[in-house]
Structure 1
Amino acid sequence: MGKLLSVNLAVPEPNPAKSVGRTGINKRPVDGPVPVRAPGPKHGGLGSGLVGDQIFDVQSHGGDDQAVYAYAREDYDWWQAELGRELPGGLFGENITTVGVDVNGAAIGERWRIGPDVVLQATFGRIPCATFQYKMAEPHWVKRFTQAARPGTYLRIVEPGEIRAGDEVTVVQQPKVRVTIAEGFRALMLEPALLPRLLEVEELPEEDLAEIRKRIARSTRQRD
């Protein structure tokens, strides 16, 4: 059993890396409970699943399948050793920083109960972007983050409620087909031969499923 080390909300800042000009990737821990609810579609919805959070690049982020982003303190510690710098929770843009939770080893479709009320479902790993590169100011950051295959996971909201730092995180349901967040990320980003396995995962977001089918078709044409 793990727990929430912190719940993090956006502190907006300029973003020269994208045309939207603002970003909510910089997130800071907050005190007290934070309401969570399904934000609706990526386009025209509420953006983040956390009340008080902000998303500016609504073309790429937010929506029901990316309602909450989780990253593990253990993976931060690994990156701290790699980069030789302190990495506070929220720096990667996650809404919840966990401890004692195997975030990347979670199965796509796995459900977590957080505190007494909230249930979330893991959907897919985070794909690094230009904003993340700009925020980290590390050489070849997108490539390094991808190759490490420690993406953290997006989650959809199954049962709304309130979450706060210290809440226990318990895995309450596993999917029929077990493909982990890390395996799915490697298939999409590093090892295309693994992509057909993802087609068996019923809980995969439709947007990701469409991209996977496109890449499989492209790979088939290239072989032919």
Structure 2
Amino acid sequence: MPHVTAVCRVHALLDDSGSVGVTAIDKRPVQGPVPVRKLGLRGDVQASRVHHGGEDKAVYAFADEDADHFADLLGREVLPGSFGENLRTSGLDVTGAVIGERWAVGERLVLEVTMPRTPCATFARRLGERGWVRRFQEEGRPGAYLKVVVGGDISAGDDLRVVSRPEHGVTIGECFAGLAPERAALLLSDQESPSLAPVMRDAAELAASRA
């Protein structure tokens, strides 16, 4: 049964050489239950609200299976929170999640898949790996951002169930790799497309225009 293996939120703001001067990427596991509302986990923050946070990026999920892949690639353990994620999951193909699909977590929480994570220079500095943005992109395992449809509490060990999935079938992995024009058009034509996050709609419209 798919489930949450860790719930993570910011441990401390760290000094960073980027334009903001600090980063909130240092996420670490916490004991639950943790309330989750429209802007994410209680007690979590984002140092830069321009590129992070907001309702469409309220929660960032990353799979244990993908963490294991990167651990093999890096030759070191990738602990929960290491990539700045809020949720670690097991038994669910996060890369294969469909844009707009909904997950029921625990007793009440409902999350909706919105877009893949985009690697940035802050992430690269955090990992301390040369060429990390390019390497992460090439591996095609970005994790998924989610918005909160119904708030609730979350704890490690909570069951995770896919309760709806749009018919367009366009996945996180496809969007991360770059949508083909016909797939972008399919995403835009779906009856549920009005719920697309603005950044995803813009990307899909641009991709579709290349047909």
TM-score between both structures, scaled by the size of structure 1: 0.87
The structure 1 residue matched to 2:171, chosen from 180, 186, 205, is 180
Give the secondary structure class of the aligned counterpart of 2:189.
coil
Q: What does residue 128 of structure 2 align with?
A: 137
Q: Provide structure 1 residue ranges, at least 5 long, that are not aligned to the other structure.
A: 40-48
Number of residue pairs matched? 208
1:27 deviation in Å?
A: 0.4
1:15–1:131 Cα contact (<8 Å) kept:
no
Give the secondary structure class of the aligned counterpart of 1:183.
helix
State the identity %.
44
User: 1:198-218 deviations in whole A, cap 9, x for unaligned?
Assistant: 43351421122123434555x
Q: Go from structure 1 to structure 2 and tell me whether the alpha carbon gap of 1:17 and 1:158 turns closer, same or farther (over 3 Å shift).
A: same
User: 1:116-166 deviations in whole A, cap 9, x for unaligned?
Assistant: 110001011000011101101111100011111100000010110100000
Q: Go from structure 1 to structure 2 and tell me whether the alpha carbon gap of 1:16 and 1:192 turns closer, same or farther (over 3 Å shift).
A: farther
Return the letter of the residue paired with 1:11: H
CA distance in 2, matches of 1:14, 1:99: 29
2:61–2:88 Cα contact (<8 Å) kept:
yes
Return the letter of the residue paired with 1:7: V
CA distance in 2, matches of 1:192, 1:146: 20
Q: Provide structure 2 residue ranges, at least 5 long, that are not aligned to the other structure.
A: none
1:12–1:54 Cα contact (<8 Å) kept:
no
1:17 deviation in Å?
A: 3.7
> What does 1:59-208 align with in structure 2 at a 5 Å threshold?
59-187=50-178, 195-201=184-190, 202=193, 203-208=195-200
Give the secondary structure class of the aligned counterpart of 2:112.
strand
Give the secondary structure class of the aligned counterpart of 1:199.
helix
CA distance in 2, matches of 1:213, 1:76: 32
Structure 1 consecutive aligned stretches of length 4 or more whose deviation exceeds 3 Å? 191-198, 214-217
Q: What does residue 42 of structure 1 align with?
A: none
TM-score between both structures, scaled by the size of structure 2: 0.92
Return the letter of the residue paired with 2:177: R
